[in-house]
Structure 1
Amino acid sequence: MIPAMDLRLLHSSPCFSAVRFPSPTPLCRRLFIVRSSLPFPNEKAKYHKELEAAAEVVVRACRLCVDVQRSLFSDEGRIIEKNDQTPVTVADFGVQALVSLELSKLFPSIPLVAEEDSGFLRSNNLVDPVVSAISDKTSFDEESLSHADVLEAIDRGGKNYFGFGTKPATYWILDPIDGTRGFVKGSQALYVVGLSLVVEGEIMLGVMGCPNWVVDTSYKSTTDVQGYKNSSPGLGIIMVAHVGCGTWTKRLKDILDSSTKISSDWTRCLVDGCCLVPKARFCIPESQTWESLPLSILYEARTDDDDIGDKEIRLLPTCCGSLCKYLMVASGRASVFILRARSQTVIKAWDHAVGVICVHEAGGKVTDWKGSELDLAADQAERRIIYPAGGVLVTNGNIHNQILEMISSISTVV
């Protein structure tokens, strides 16, 4: 068993706060102390307690993902297919159970909207591996953490667990692993654990953890931007955002080598300063092609690093999941993420919510193709589905209106 994560990676500062969980058993002597400092004074962040807790649980979830990923390829039973043919692992359910357990303990009145439910877990006999995966990551007593507790925690975020009615509520939105197809490829692909808090229809805070993110920003090619080469498991980032306080990142501890010295200082995230569409760096979903997007009428896409021509744009090769693209834009590594809504594809709130606030607080902009903000309350009963007109456009803000105008003019001609 890998030792518990050193929670001191959340750099201490004058705005330090600590939450002490009771030790599960005298025998284990496991005292969970959540030491979380934010990169801004607590008085500036109305939901600083929620953000601190969210950051802490996402760090633990990233640790869980790395642990499971280690054993993933030595146990084929850990990779299975859901009914929608997307791969799901013990990590997906483990993260949802872990986050649900911890947040419900600290904020019992705040419900959770999340991707998984226990029905699939039960039918595939994966309860034992999930309990094992979270046992040393949770503040609950390992010996008293029953299967029923874990299954209920998973279902707490599942469909039909509770109803919202028509009025927006306060609730968490969780994507246990965004980019599961990347997760099952191993340490050379990106995936994100994403958690956000919505209050009265507005996203107040968000946390993204990306264990395989290449921290060095002195990249020279689109391959380096992608983060596939020269990456090391555990060398990643955690990104936090709070409304009115900006978007910030710090390095995740190198989980696989506790002797590695990694800076724990917070870094302010800002979108890039690109002001011309042809100079922008684009990313799109893996399931869509550039040719399927309106801008393909005006520009051809290039994925190499040669000089870009007048009628060309640079398309970055990125890995699975929408949140990876939001992270790219918020960190300034990409200028634009554009997604087309398709009738056969349901767009889920958890694939976008945390990314929206991280991009907004970094200076960017997120709308649908008509220029309207994403409506998280459109699914009045469950808050699980969004319906962006045309699709989703995520930019650095500078070129947002330019692209909207291009999309509108092309749609009018077509």
Structure 2
Amino acid sequence: MIPAMDLHLLRPSPGSSAVQLFPRYPSPAPHRSRLFIVRSNLPFPNEKAKYYRELAAAVEVVESACRLCVDVQRSLFSNEGQIVEKKDLTPVTVADFGVQALVSLELSKLFPSIPLVAEEDSGFLQSNNLVDPVVSAVSDKRSIDEESLSRDDVLEAIDRGGRNAFATGTKPATYWILDPIDGTRGFVKGSPALYVVGLSLVVEGDIVLGVMGCPNWVVDPSYKSTTDAQGYKNSSPGYGIIMIAHVGCGTWTKRLKSMLDFSTKISSDWTRCFVDGCCLVSDARFCIPESQTWESLPLSVLYKARIDDDNIGDNEIRLLSAFCGSLCKYIMVASGRASVFFLRARSEKVIRVWDHAVGMICVHEAGGKVTDWKGSELDLAADQIERRSIYPAGGILVTNGKIHNQILEMISSISTVV
């Protein structure tokens, strides 16, 4: 068995639930010779992982949620692959609420004492007559064969993770955090753009595990480059990956169970993930949100961006295509396919720190680092007042850890000059 990456978890200071995860030793670059393959339900034995049972359950429920998303997404398109109703986002709504209901139902049976923090409340469904489609989407995805779901069952499950369902007390709580669909633009666009189902567990203020399912991620065994892996030009690789992380046990990926073609047999092997070995900002591969431009970021003063281009000149950086969804950028960094993910805070749009929890642990366990633009750790406690209404200073910076301080210094110096 490969020894788990030695990761030290610093406990938060009194009165704070800030997540502070730092790799005790830097992880080397993800050379092909270092891809460790494990054949098992999880890539490490249960005695190595305190939350093994919770992680195993999270993997199963995220895989089921991804299958639900794929089934619902098909209703967006005609046989020719065209969007049936471009202005009708009902399938997105059904998938969002369906995932939340499914995850809530499954986890409440296994871990009834652990609350769920999620996105949606059932009121919207009821006022828009969308309860029945959600019930239908959820019914055949449950792992336990029981009596048919009622409308009340689904509404109650959704509200279990709703806006007013969870409140923290004076002590750090234990709770699940669910982002039903991160990247609805990608969901609507279809397979050329990515979306992610994200689920994490917080215990006493620390993120202890995370699972991200990306149903339309193209798995490229050759691992040549991000462009090759995400270009959707090679038909032989399989669709879909799941990425997991457990504190002290590293970050791992495998292909999702075959959702698009049940006759296709796919490997269930887990592969260990590491951030890349880039040590110079000028050599780094950057990714940013689709809704933001390179020119809106401080480093644009120093570097021009060339999109998906290996021929980088002086004072230029390589900017990878956006592919929608913030969480997929964490997958990019944690898997070593990108070096940096930049997210700028904007007054008109709230950055929900809880939504980034699953990405944070996956990057940290792969050897990377996540902070705001001033270098402070993202604080989950700040999201516990009026539900996820925090603007990290400047924005969020996700890197391989090796160039993190360099970028922070650049941001600081540029801000001082400006």
Shorter-chain TM-score tier: 0.7 to 0.9
Please say which of residues 87-96 and 366-375 is displaced more in the overlay. 87-96
Q: Indicate the residue corresponding to 2:194 in structure 1.
A: 190
Letter of the structure 1 residue corresponding to residue 180 of structure 2: P
CA distance in 2: counterparts of 1:101 and 1:337, whole angstroms = 33
Q: How does 1:8-23 map to 2 (within 5 A)?
A: none
Task: Tell me the CA shift for residue 389 of structure 1.
Answer: 1.2
CA distance in 1: counterparts of 2:386 and 2:151, whole angstroms = 26
Letter of the structure 2 residue corresponding to residue 321 of structure 1: G
Q: Percent identity?
A: 85
1:378 match: secondary structure: helix
1:327 match: secondary structure: helix
Q: Indicate the residue corresponding to 1:293 in structure 2.
A: 297
Task: Tell me the CA shift for residue 59 of structure 1.
Answer: 0.6
CA distance in 2: counterparts of 1:401 and 1:266, whole angstroms = 31
CA distance in 2: counterparts of 1:134 and 1:79, whole angstroms = 24
CA contact (8 A) 2:354 2:383 kept: no
Letter of the structure 1 residue corresponding to residue 285 of structure 2: R
> With structure 1 as the length reference, what TM-score do the two structures score?
0.86
- Which protein has greater RCO, CA pairs closer than 8 Å, 6+ apart? 2
Q: Indicate the residue corresponding to 2:43 in structure 1.
A: 39
Q: How does 1:223-372 map to 2 (within 5 A)?
A: 223-230=227-234, 235-372=239-376
Aligned length: 376
Task: Tell me the CA shift for residue 233 of structure 1.
Answer: 10
RMSD across aligned C-alpha pairs, in angstroms?
2.3
Task: Tell me the CA shift for residue 48 of structure 1.
Answer: 0.7
CA distance in 2: counterparts of 1:207 and 1:232, whole angstroms = 26
Q: Indicate the residue corresponding to 2:184 in structure 1.
A: 180
Deviations 1:107-153 (A, max 9, x none): 11111111111111112211111111111111455644110110111
1:218 to 222, 238, 252: 222
1:153 aligned to 2:157?
Answer: yes
CA contact (8 A) 2:243 2:254 kept: yes
Task: Tell me the CA shift for residue 259 of structure 1.
Answer: 2.6
> With structure 2 as the length reference, what TM-score do the two structures score?
0.85
Residues 167 and 99 of structure 1, relative CA distance in 2, 3 Å threshold: same
CA contact (8 A) 2:274 2:334 kept: yes
Q: Indicate the residue corresponding to 2:114 in structure 1.
A: 110
CA contact (8 A) 2:353 2:383 kept: no
CA distance in 2: counterparts of 1:40 and 1:200, whole angstroms = 23
Task: Tell me the CA shift for residue 188 of structure 1.
Answer: 2.2
CA distance in 1: counterparts of 2:166 and 2:242, whole angstroms = 30
1:401 match: secondary structure: helix
CA distance in 1: counterparts of 2:145 and 2:215, whole angstroms = 26
2:174 to 166, 170, 175: 170
1:377 match: secondary structure: helix
Task: Tell me the CA shift for residue 89 of structure 1.
Answer: 2.8
2:165 match: secondary structure: coil
Q: How does 1:63-212 map to 2 (within 5 A)?
A: 63-74=67-78, 80-81=88-89, 88-139=92-143, 143-212=147-216
Residues 73 and 232 of structure 1, relative CA distance in 2, 3 Å threshold: farther
Letter of the structure 1 residue corresponding to residue 199 of structure 2: L
1:153 match: secondary structure: helix
Letter of the structure 1 residue corresponding to residue 73 of structure 2: Q
CA distance in 1: counterparts of 2:271 and 2:226, whole angstroms = 22
Residues 232 and 65 of structure 1, relative CA distance in 2, 3 Å threshold: farther
CA contact (8 A) 1:80 1:89 kept: no
CA distance in 2: counterparts of 1:243 and 1:216, whole angstroms = 27
2:414 to 399, 410, 414: 410
Task: Tell me the CA shift for residue 257 of structure 1.
Answer: 2.0
Letter of the structure 2 residue corresponding to residue 343 of structure 1: S
Task: Tell me the CA shift for residue 220 of structure 1.
Answer: 4.7
Deviations 1:327-385 (A, max 9, x none): 10011110000111112211113431100000000011001111111101113335534
Letter of the structure 2 residue corresponding to residue 391 of structure 1: G
CA distance in 2: counterparts of 1:346 and 1:365, whole angstroms = 22
CA contact (8 A) 2:282 2:316 kept: yes
Deviations 1:131-179 (A, max 9, x none): 1111111145564411011011111111111321343211111011111
Deviations 1:303-335 (A, max 9, x none): 142510110000000211110100100111100
Task: Tell me the CA shift for residue 80 of structure 1.
Answer: 4.1
CA distance in 2: counterparts of 1:168 and 1:156, whole angstroms = 19
Residues 232 and 220 of structure 1, relative CA distance in 2, 3 Å threshold: closer
